[in-house]
Amino acid sequence: MSEFIKPNNIDEEIILDPNKFLISKTDKFGNFEFANDYFMEVSGYEEYELMGKSMFCIQHPDMPEVIYKMMWEKLLEKKDCHVVVKSLAKNGKYYWSINSFTFKVNDDDGEITAIFNKRIAACKESKEYFSNLYKTLLQIEKQNGIQASEKFLVGLLEEKQLDFKGLLRSTCHSDKIEMLAKSKKVFAPFKKAKKETSVPKLSVEFEKVEKVKPEVEEISKKEVKKIKKVRNNANNEEKSLFQRLFGKTDEEIEAERRRNKERD
């Protein structure tokens, strides 16, 4: 499987069509299984580039990890959740969306089999509010880790006497939330992802990493910096969603959830 290398982000926004949904489906560990045409159009990727990859591949560097952690905790508890997200397109540009996450369970054992996400364009007020909030959370994470940013966010919600959905409603036009709420049939019938038709080549930068020789001192400082960045990106992609958020593997999270279920 080829490595996924994120683009350098560009400070330029992609304005979403307010009347269209970006729809995606992942497995319970956050790996893409489907995305609709508008999602692919906005993200700029082809199906073969995203399918099987973690949802983190479109995570913008301005997004704090704690938002994904709290979101996934809700989903693991089989609760729907809403969150404002800044995403990174293939061309390096960004787009803001209101995300509504829900799930599908197996009728026999009640286990989650898929995570669905429908997105709609975020309004100006939501962009401004959450942009400032995320800057604060990101600064806390970089200085003191994800647990510190989580405590701050929980404290903020307690002060406002709101859950995260309530915080979203307080900063967003009500018609946006209503449009998401009324779109329950948006996932059915569900399109199948297209089959991979070609094998993507490694980027020029990653090929450079593989061919680096001991005489690295001969490479310019600029090239060395570029190669290190590519290596870091590749290493980060090897970590699963749960390893990044919870410090545990997918299997450890699943085993822990099953034990809690048996105790209940």
pLDDT at 190: 45
pLDDT at 56: 86
Please list the alpha-helical segments (H only) found in the chain: 37-43, 47-50, 65-76, 124-144, 146-160, 164-171, 174-181, 204-210, 221-237, 241-246, 250-263
pLDDT at 206: 43
pLDDT at 238: 52
Question: Does the structural domain 22-202 have CATH classification 3.40.50.740?
Answer: no
pLDDT at 193: 39
Burial class (CB in 10 A: 0-12, 13-18, 19+), 71: buried
Q: What is the dihedral of CA 221, 224, 225, 227, to 10 degrees?
A: 160
Q: What is the pTM of this model?
A: 0.72
CA distances from 12 to 61, 63, 93, 128 (A): 14, 16, 5, 15
Q: Calculate helix-pair angle for 146-160, 164-171, nearest 10 degrees.
A: 70
pLDDT at 119: 94
Mean per-residue pLDDT pooled into runs of 10, the chain (264 residues): 77 95 93 96 95 92 94 86 94 96 87 92 94 97 95 93 82 67 52 40 48 50 52 51 68 69 65
**Bond before 200 cis per omega within 30 degrees:** no
The domain ranges of the chain are: 22-202
Beta-bridged to residue 104, according to DSSP, are 114
